Amino acid sequence: MALAVTSSSSTSIAFSSSNSRTEQGVLQLSSSNFQPLDRSPAALNLSLNRSAAVKRLNAEPKRNDSIVPSAATTFAPDVVDKAVEVDDIEKLAKNLENASPLEIMDKALEKYGNDIAIAFSGAEDVALIEYAHLTGRPFRVFSLDTGRLNPETYKFFDTVEKHYGIHIEYMFPDAVEVQALVRTKGLFSFYEDGHQECCRVRKVRPLRRALKGLRAWITGQRKDQSPGTRSEVPVVQVDPVFEGMDGGSGSLVKWNPVANVAGNDIWNFLRTMDVPVNSLHAQGYVSIGCEPCTRSVLPGQHEREGRWWWEDAKAKECGLHKGNLKEENVNGNGAAANGKESSAKSDIFESQNVVNLSRPGIENLVKMEDRKEPWMVVLYAPWCPFCQAMEASYVELADKLAGNGVKVGKFRADGDQKAYAQQELQLGSFPTILFFPKHASRPIKYQSEKRDVESLMAFINALR
């Protein structure tokens, strides 16, 4: 299916999806008349009572922030709906609650035509593009290029464009805002004061500009992605945060076709349909974002644990889906809303060969300039999944070193002790592992993410 649009100024713009075939015909539109040549169900559903004048979405002042000029041409309706009826959307969500992702996608594209677009992050939400392709309807795809994505993600974008015969509409952050942030706080300020500010500049504001050119958008949110923030995501909703092209609260509709689909089922679908996927998935990455803020997850860990892993928050959101956050969740710096981390988990690293250091104990260890024995100490939080994941190997290490001239200890560095650990003990994220040599006052930080017994032992043997 292809859509060719021609204005009176002789400027021609074409949209196409991978289902375009010459034998199916082309829907031709001109400034004076239009004649549909394709009568198949896949034809774009344009209302006959729309004006014959061709206008760009950014032709009007309220639409200056339309997504991409090359994909922003459509008919201007005679009557513009100023706001979305919440009751209607809630009724629609209820009717589609048990519908398949394909049925939901088809309904979304049918209802909004060229005024809706798929938000594509370069991860498993490529399933959305496949579903849209299977409907046989024209569709648009946009993505936020933060300037900090993995090389594999950029390559994947190119692969997806060629596979489906589409052009992804990229949105970029404002150069002046990025420049100000980096010059003021450096390239990696998010490790110190939370990721929200960087995400706001590189992702949220570009998204806001993109959505100003739409009446609806399609996301890959699933209920099982983040139990803390997405467990109640409906298949369609009035967007609680962003505005659409008509402006004002309630002017944008948000579609989540795979909200009720489990992650395993998404992957079964991708494999069955032989859909191209990001090569990072084969390296243990599940949820994929910016390169500095994303890493692979360990077996048994939740997919969102690989995002902003240095933060203590249960709510792993960047602000694109801020409406998911409940009042009791997190503040802008990724800390718990009451300023304290959860203490529901019992303590870890419990072993007779692991010394539990108190605050005075760790302070004395730091002050010693001539230690009788070297020490290996982990700075941890019992609720941290990465600390929990290394518990077995650390206890095994302590057992192996028992009686061999190296002491093994632990210091709980969350809560009231976190500020001290950050200032005096090089705490960046949990867990942080330190080695205190016999004849050196300053501890040496273990930099590798490999926390198996062999890697930790090699680190110790290189220093003692």
Residue 375 to residue 136: CA distance in whole angstroms? 64
Residue 368 Cα to chain centre, angstroms: 44
Task: List the structure tokens of 79.
Answer: 């009557």
Residue 28 burial by Cβ neighbours in a 10 Å radius (0-12, 13-18, 19+): middle
Query: Could you confirm whether 387 is annotated as catalytic?
Result: yes
Q: Identify the DSSP state of 249.
A: T
Residue 319 to residue 332: CA distance in whole angstroms? 9
Residue 357 to residue 265: CA distance in whole angstroms? 46
Residue 124 to residue 109: CA distance in whole angstroms? 20
Three-state secondary structure string covering 109-128: HHHHHHHEEEECCCCCCHHH
Tell me the HSE value of 286 on the side-chain side, using a 13 A CA sphere: 18
Using only the alpha carbons of the chain, give its radius of gyration.
Answer: 27
Q: Phi, psi (5° rounding) for residue 209?
A: -65, -40
Find the catalytic residue in 198, 290, 293, 387: 387
Of 68, 13, 44, 80, the C-alpha closest to 212 is 68
Question: Are 409 and 375 in contact, with CB atoms under 8 Å apart?
Answer: yes
Query: Could you confirm whether 199 is annotated as catalytic?
Result: no
Amino acid at 359: R
> Residues in the chain, how many?
464
| Placement of tokens 């209820």 in the chain | 94
Residue 256 to residue 101: CA distance in whole angstroms? 9
Find the catalytic residue in 198, 293, 318, 384: 384
Residues catalogued as catalytic: 384, 387
